[in-house]
Homo-oligomer: A and B are copies of this chain.
Amino acid sequence: MTRKLRMGMVGGGIGSFIGDVHRKASSIDGMIELVCGTFSSTTVKSISFGKGLLLSTERCYANFEEMILKEKELHKDIRMDFVAIVTPNHMHFSPAKMALENGFNVICDKPITLTLDEALALKDIIKISGKSFALTHNYTGNSMVKQAKVMIQNGDLGRIRKVQVHYLQGWLATSIEGTGQKQAAWRVDPKRSGIGGALGDIGTHAENLTEYITGLKIDEVAADLGVFGKGRTLDDDGNILLRFDNGAKGTLSISQIAVGEENNLAIRVFGEKGSLEWCQENPNKLVTKWLDEPVKTYTPNGNGLYSEALEVSRIPAGHPEGYLEAFATIYKNFSNHLLALENGQRPNTPDFPTVDDGIRGMQFIYAAVESNNNNSTWTKLV
């Protein structure tokens, strides 16, 4: 490592959950330093919050426009290298666009944008800008997810036939958005979330994990979405049939009204020769099953792993790796990518989610909503 990368943050002030996650995750590997940010809607609040993070007052900005313009004027050894966007969905596109167009790299929370059109537009903007863009589908940063991906890629499981994936939460089981809970309030609001509720918030994670692990594309979906919370208009639950581009089939079920579930993202993949299962809440196990052999369970840094999985782990086997570490892996890989470019290296295919993953997520949301509007008719992801 030749230097620390400098991060500017958009969003993530008081009441934000994911802003703090980004800050902690980006700090674990000692590669990134938070140097500036716009955390709130007013200069005063933004400064107040930034001081708590030990930022200098002059680098706590009133809004992202100010941040981008002022940082641009700073010396290249001082100004931020990239912007981390951790706002609600409707505030992803504009700061991303402006940052890219002003020469800053961007790392952005998911789903990528409010609309599919924005996502497609962003792809062009990124290309023209020549800058880098990462999307924090953080679960792909888990060691056991890498192992799963490589096993399938290498054909260990044979041709994939069936996938079951679900992402179940219970925190919106009651209409807490009416109680002033900020996290709930924007998620149930189409103006801030987009056309998908749970679909966008957690469905895109499930979709992304599925395509990442299997290497397949979801070809079409048949969706039955539910709106169970009183007064809501966006889905807070959904059951979706999947058909993949190789002929495999599956189910994808999501819920934010699944009482008692915390963050239950789990996937099972069945091939012709073997199968695997992984659950985010118990991320340090990858269970694999076989035609003729006993069940084999892999663990991070444990026996029998592919190098891609081993590389992810920071600590020896048996020392549990959690949510933040997986999240940090996205930041680490993004940082290594930026440093490689800076050093004139030609990096490999980036090992972090990109704008293409973001577009897939939006296509998934749009196809599911359209299918649901047509009484679960099969609908292509386009």
Contact surface of A with B, Cβ cutoff 8 Å: 1, 3-4, 17, 20-21, 23-24, 27-30, 34, 52-54, 157, 161-162, 164, 166, 169-171, 173-174, 222, 224, 226, 228, 237, 239, 241-243, 249-251, 253, 255, 257-264, 268, 270-275, 280-284, 288-299, 302-304, 314-325, 375-376, 378
Whether B162 lies near A237 (C-beta < 8 A) is yes
A316 contact set on B, CB distance < 8 A: 17, 171, 262-263
With A322-B321, A323-B321 as contacts: A294 and B292 at CB distance below 8 Å:
no
A272 contact set on B, CB distance < 8 A: 173, 259
Report the Cα distance A290→B272, complex, angstroms. 27
Most buried by B among A24, A273, A299: A24
Whether B273 lies near A259 (C-beta < 8 A) is yes
Whether A162 lies near B263 (C-beta < 8 A) is no
Whether B283 lies near A320 (C-beta < 8 A) is yes
A304 contact set on B, CB distance < 8 A: 292-294
Whether B262 lies near A318 (C-beta < 8 A) is yes
With A1-B52, A289-B260, A291-B174 as contacts: A161 and B226 at CB distance below 8 Å:
yes
Report the Cα distance A197→B19, complex, angstroms. 44
A224 contact set on B, CB distance < 8 A: 222, 241, 243, 249
Whether B228 lies near A324 (C-beta < 8 A) is no
Known: A30-B53, A261-B318. 14 other contacts (CB 8 A): A30-B54, A162-B255, A173-B291, A224-B241, A239-B242, A260-B289, A262-B302, A262-B318, A262-B319, A296-B297, A320-B320, A320-B322, A322-B322, A324-B324
Report the Cα distance A263→B290, complex, angstroms. 14
The residue on B at minimum CB distance from A21 is: B315
Partner of A291, one of B226, B250, B259, B375: B259
With A17-B316, A262-B302 as contacts: A270 and B255 at CB distance below 8 Å:
yes
Report the Cα distance A37→B303, complex, angstroms. 34
Report the Cα distance A266→B273, complex, angstroms. 23
A251 contact set on B, CB distance < 8 A: 239, 251, 253
Whether B243 lies near A318 (C-beta < 8 A) is no
Report the Cα distance A174→B273, complex, angstroms. 9
Whether B259 lies near A271 (C-beta < 8 A) is yes
Whether A378 lies near B375 (C-beta < 8 A) is yes
The smallest beta-carbon distance between A126 and chain B, in angstroms, is 29
Report the Cα distance A318→B241, complex, angstroms. 26
A323 contact set on B, CB distance < 8 A: 315, 319-322
Whether B281 lies near A320 (C-beta < 8 A) is yes
Report the Cα distance A170→B158, complex, angstroms. 14
Whether A303 lies near B293 (C-beta < 8 A) is yes
Whether A263 lies near B317 (C-beta < 8 A) is yes
The smallest beta-carbon distance between A72 and chain B, in angstroms, is 25
A302 contact set on B, CB distance < 8 A: 262, 294-295
